[in-house]
Chain A
Amino acid sequence: MVPPEPTDIRIPSDPAKLCVVREAVRRTTREAGFEDPDAEQVVLAVDEALANVIKHGYGGRHDQPIDIRIEYAAEPGRIGLRFVIRDFGRTVDPRTICGRDLDDVRPGGLGVHIMRTVMDEVRYAAAEGGGTRLDMLKWNTAGGKKT
C-alpha cells in the first residue's frame, strides 16, 4: 500500500481553531485504522500539544502561526501516524519539559503527561529559525492502549 500524502494544516494560535485540527486528526486516525479508545486518545494528545503551544509558546496570543503535519509512518508489520507541530514562539528548552506528579491533584500541567501516556514517541526540539518542533508518533497496534 502506498501511504497517503502528508496533510499540512496551518492554524492561528486561537483556541477557537482547535476543533478544526481535532476533526482532521479524528478523520486521519480512522483512515489509518485506529479504533477507540486509541483513536480518540490520539486526538486528545494532539489537542493538548496545541494547547501547550498557545499557552506557553505564544503566551496566550491568538494570532500566531502553528503548523501541523500529519503523515503515515510504516515499519514491517505495522503502520502509524506521525504528528509534527511547529511553532515560532518562545523556544522551549526540551530538558525543562516534563509532566507533573499526578498525586498532586491540582489544575493545570496535565498536557505533557497525557501526550507521553498516549503516544509511543514524544520529542521536543528547538526549531531552526526559532520556536519549537514537536514530533509525536503513535503506532497502530491491536489492543495497543497504553494507559
Chain B
Amino acid sequence: MSKALREVRQDGQATIAVPTGEVDLHHSPGLYQELVEVCKARPARLVIDLREVTYMDSSGVSTLVEVFRTVNRYGGKLVLLAPTARVRGMFEIARLDKFFVICDTQEEAMG
C-alpha cells in the first residue's frame, strides 16, 4: 500500500508532514492513520505541508479536522502550509478557511 505521507521531518520544535497526490475517499483513511502516528509524539507544532496535494475532497477535510482536534487536545498547534488553489477552494466551500491556520510560506508556518 502506498504511503500517504511522502515525508515527515523535524525542524526545531515543529514536525512537518508532507502528504502528496489526491486526498479522496480512497486515500484519506491512510493519511489519517499516518497522521495519527505522527501525533503520538505530540509535536508542539504540526505543520502539514499541502503544496503537493493536487486534490482534496470532504473526506480529506474531515481528516484534517480530526487531526486538528487531536493536536488541540494535547495542547499543540496545527498549521496548514500553502494549499493549492484547488484545495483552498475546497476549504472555502466548506467554510473552513477561517477555521484552520493557513500559512503561505514555510517561514510563516514555523512561527
In chain B, positions 79-101 with a C-beta closer than 8 Å to chain A are 85-86, 89-90, 92-96, 99
* A108-B62 in contact (CB<8A): yes
B89 and A40 contacting across the interface, CB-CB below 8 Å: yes
State whether the Cβ of B22 lies closer than 8 Å to any Cβ in chain A: yes
The chain A residue with its CB closest to the CB of B61 is A110
Is there a chain B Cβ closer than 8 Å to A70's Cβ? no
Q: How many chain B residues touch A (Cβ–Cβ < 8 Å)?
A: 23
Q: Note all chain B residues with C-beta closer than 8 A to A136.
A: none
Q: Separation in Å of the A133 CB from the closest CB of chain B?
A: 21
Contacts of A22 in B (CB 8 A): 24, 55
A38 to B25, CA, bound (A): 21
What range describes how many residues of A lie at the interface? 20 to 34
Which residues of chain A are near B61, meaning CB under 8 Å? Answer: 110
Judged by a CB distance under 8 angstroms, whether B20 is at the interface is no
Contacting B at CB under 8 A, from A92-109, are 102, 105-108
Known: A48-B58, A114-B58, A114-B93. A54 touches B25 (CB 8 A): yes
Give the residue among A16, A41, A110 with the most B Cβ atoms within 10 A: A110
Q: When the two chains form their complex, are residues A19 and B26 in contact, meaning their CB atoms are under 8 A apart? A: yes
> Which of A15, A40, A107, A118 contacts B62 (CB under 8 A)?
A107
**Known interface pairs A18-B25, A19-B26. Does A107 touch B93 (Cβ–Cβ under 8 Å)?**
no
